[in-house]
Every structure is written in structure tokens, then in C-alpha cells.
Structure 1
């Protein structure tokens, strides 16, 4: 992992989001890109018919935005991490994905809520769209996280698909952070149970023999509740999900499962992109 993108709306929660990015950047010696996207505002419609006045207004807005980056830049500098500030004149979704492509970003870190409204829009109505469209992992940070630490990780598995690619990415991160992984399957009555769980358990144990992890199952009527209860019981610091982009069966059963966990979780949620062809 070389490049980490932090989306900020300059709210208080954005500082907590940055702390997580710094934690991971230190482990990888990665570079942080700070991005804020905005569309220009005009106080009085029609007053900017003069192009010079319009440019002056845009310049003032730009200066104001860059000034808001300063406290975040100082925080990164204090951590001794390389960084770059990016101000995108664009809508939230397009701006973020433009930066991801331009700077070859490996991880997107976003706050789940923000008083400025920017991240509310991003992780609210657009959360599922961001996760579905993103080709890179997305780490969503809730507003009231107290301790910025990742030592216990819960990975929600269905034990229905070959998840080796996702697990390889996850173990690469947890190895750098020296964190332990608990793979948890929530057994809910409406969830598919087509393949043999033991088949996938044996496969995972055989493939990742050197990794520090455990596999367990819990029963609950709702997958989201089961995941959150297991995370609390295990003292998890992070919940990890795999977004099944093209899995028709998962979409029929619960098209917003990932979004529910992200919105309700009191813990950070890391979502990997899992593209399963049926």
C-alpha cells in the first residue's frame, strides 16, 4: 500500500478519520492524500456576469478552502508522513474517484458523518454507490470512535464463496498492523447455506496457515445484528466486509447489507470489493 486518500469536510470527525489514515500510513510508510471537493457558491444570482468578478470570487473561495486544510496538514507533518493536499472543483462522488484514478490510490478513508454535510451525503444516500463503484478498499469511520487502534479485527464471512483474494488483502494489512483476525459467520434463517462450511474452513486454514486468525459461527435472526453483537463480544476494533458486486443471490436477499452495517456500526468498517461471477 503506497497511497491513502482521506476525504475531509473539515469537521471534527475528519480529524479522527485522519488519525486512522495516519495509523495505516505509518505501518506501510505510505503517502496520504487529503481531498475536499466543492462546488462554487454565489451569494447573489446574476451578480457575476462580469467574468473578472467571478474569478475573484472563485479565488477567494479556493483560498478559504486551502486555509481549512492547515490543521490537518500539521497533524500529518507531526506524524512524519508524506502528504499532498487536493482541492477538487467537483461533486463529491466524481471528485473522489477522479483523485483515486489520478493518484493511484490504494485505500479510501472516509468519515461516516460530518457537520459540514459533505460526508453526510457521501456515506448516507451515496454509501452503497461509493462501495459498489470503488475498485479499492473503503474504510468508513463513525463519528464517536474513542481509541484509534486496530488490534482485533472481525471479518464477516458467508463461507459460501472462495474469499481467498479478499483474505489475502486483509491479512496483508493486519500483518502490518500486528492485528488478529476473527472470521465470523452469522447463521440466519434467511441466509443462503448452499455450500459446505467445512469445505471453505479447510480451504482458508490450508491457504493461510501462517496467519493469526480464528473462525467461529454465531446465530442471529439478522446478519447485521449478529455481526455487531459478535464484534462487541470479541472486543473488535474493526469490522471487515466483502461487497459482493455481482452476486445476484446476495442482492435479492439483502441488497443493503453492507450499508446497514456501515451506518449502524460504532466501529470503523473496512469494505473490500469482491467480484464473484456466477
Structure 2
């Protein structure tokens, strides 16, 4: 059974992410954990609340969160409900990233699915600051769902990679299971001006090929130029239904994040964006 965590701030975008998750695992057993972290709501109000009233405020925020979580579950269960799906709710007095990481460890979560931005995000960008924090620091694969994306099976998946990272088997297995289920084509795209791979790259490529045995796998190259433009061009050319990247220190993805080019990508990407982690769990 898949265990899926859905962080929510009760925005339309987070509800949309939950509905996407239900469709993605429509035909298999899954437990969806809906989590709302309210630590920052309490700390944010701390300046205007007397110290002795903090515990009361925590109880109020928890009760409010639990009520909204229950309402959210009731709104998506369906009639009749999917017998393969279970729903659990979690109101956590914590920050978003810490709350997710602790719960991922505690429940051995397979996947986090969330909206690309929340209620308070800048509407001129696709990826909100909280989404980028989760991408970078959560020790679990994350899929971010654009708010206007209409669900469709990802028949083509674009996976830009430089083969320099030692991939985690569990991360690749998740991708392989998803792609295999939909009989997807996974296009591994290496952006380079060189014809040959180093021995380390060859080993990682072989590991990738051996682990992603269920989907149709393609290895392709593109000449070096603006990476964002190449990715967007390949998404359009392949009619990709999902973009996948690997996050690790000194990786292509981290380079994109710290140079803020993810904002340029996010302004134009209209498909789910999956970030696999190379961080030890």
C-alpha cells in the first residue's frame, strides 16, 4: 500500500493536489495523510498574545485545523467512496518542513504531493517559497501540482539528469512503479556537449537502466544552452505529462534553485513536477 502525505493550508491549490493524488492512485491501495502545520500561526501571533495565553491559542488553532481537515476529507471521499483509499488527518504544532520530515520518518511515507503554491503565495510565480523549501529539504520524493493542471495519465515523463549522482533505489522504484503502471515513456535527457560518459556516469546510467525496468526508457542528449529553454522545449516536443528531477548537493537541480532559475521554469511549466531526493532517510 502506498503512503502519501498531502500538506495543506486549505487553499484551492492544496485541495487540487489531493484530488490529483486520488486520481494518480485510483486503482491501487493507498493511505492519504492530510497534514496542516500550525506552528507558524501561533508563533506569528505570539507578539500580540500574552505568554499565559499561548497554550490556549495552540488549542484553538489545533481545533480549527482539525475541523477544516475533516471537512476537506468529507469533500473528496466521493459517493460511493473508493474502497482502496483510506484517509487520515494530522494537525501538527510545527513548521512545514520540520513537520513533514518528522512525519515522513515516523510513517515511512512514500511520496509527498502538494500544490505549487499556497493561499498567501505571490500570484506572479508558479512555485511558492514553501514549495521550494519542501523541494530542497524534505527527505522524500515530492510532486508539486500546478493549480490549473487537469489530471491526465503521464504517458511521457521527462527526466533531465547528468548521471553524476548515485541514485537511490527506493526513489527510482517509485518512479518506475508510476511509469510502469501507465506504460509511460521515460525520457532521460542529458544536456551536454560531450560525446562520452565518464566511468562513474556509465555506472550510474546502468543502475538507472536496471532499476527503471518497468517503463519504456529512452536515453537522449541535447546540446548545452539555456537549461530552462531546453527543458521547456523537450516538454512540448514529447508532450510530457510530468517533469522529474533529482535533488542533491551540487546537482543540476540545486544549481537551478540557488540561481532562482526555477522561477523562470515555474512561470511556464504547466505539468506536475516531481523532485526525487538523494538525501539519506
Whether TM-score is above 0.5 comes out as yes
- Native 8 Å contact 1:152 1:237 kept in 2: yes
**CA 1:258–1:168: 2 relative to 1, 3 Å:** farther
Please state whether the residue corresponding to 2:262 is helix, strand or coil. helix
Following TM superposition, by how much is the alpha carbon of 1:217 offset from its aligned partner in structure 2, in angstroms? 2.3
**In structure 1, distance between residues paired with 2:254 and 2:90:** 39
Match of 2:111 among 84, 103, 107: 107
CA distance in 1, matches of 2:253, 2:149: 30
Give the superposition deviation at 1:200: 6.7
2:98 equivalent to 1:94? yes
Call closer, same or farther: CA 1:74–1:180 in 2, change over 3 Å: farther
1:65 maps onto 2:65 in alignment? yes
Provide the residue aligned with 1:256 in structure 2. Answer: 258
| Aligned residue number for residue 186 of structure 2 | 181
Q: Give the drift of 1:60.
A: 3.6
Aligned position for 2:175:
170
Q: Equivalent residues in 2 for 1:110-259 (5 A)?
A: 110-117=114-121, 124-125=128-129, 127=131, 129-161=133-165, 163=167, 165=169, 166-187=171-192, 195=198, 211-245=215-249, 256=258
Unaligned runs of 5+ in 2: none
Residues in 2 aligned to 1:5 and 1:255: alpha-carbon distance in whole angstroms = 23
User: 1:132 Cα deviation (Å)?
Assistant: 3.7
Distance 1:72 1:4 in 2: 16
What is residue 24 of structure 1 aligned with on the other side? 24
Query: 2-side partners of 1:44 and 1:203: how far apart?
Result: 53
Deviation of 1:31 after TM superposition, in Å, equals: 0.3
Provide TM-score, normalisation by structure 1: 0.77
Checking the alignment, whether the CA contact within 8 Å between 1:132 and 1:245 is kept in structure 2 is: no
1:13-39: CA deviations, max 9, x gaps? Answer: 112211222123334411000001113
C-alpha distance in 2 between matches for 1:50 and 1:163: 49
Q: CA RMSD in A?
A: 3.7
Aligned positions, number: 266
Please list the CA deviations of residues 196-235 of structure 1 after superposition, one character each: whole Å capped at 9, or x if unmatched.
7888767755665663222222335112221121011111
Cα distance between partner residues in 2 of 1:258 and 1:177: 33
Distance 1:259 1:67, change over 3 A: farther
Residue 37 of structure 1 aligns with which residue?
A: 37
Unaligned 5+ residue runs, structure 1? none
What TM-score, normalized by structure 2, do the two folds share?
0.76
Change (3 A) 1:251 1:131: closer
Deviates most, 208-217 or 134-143 = 208-217
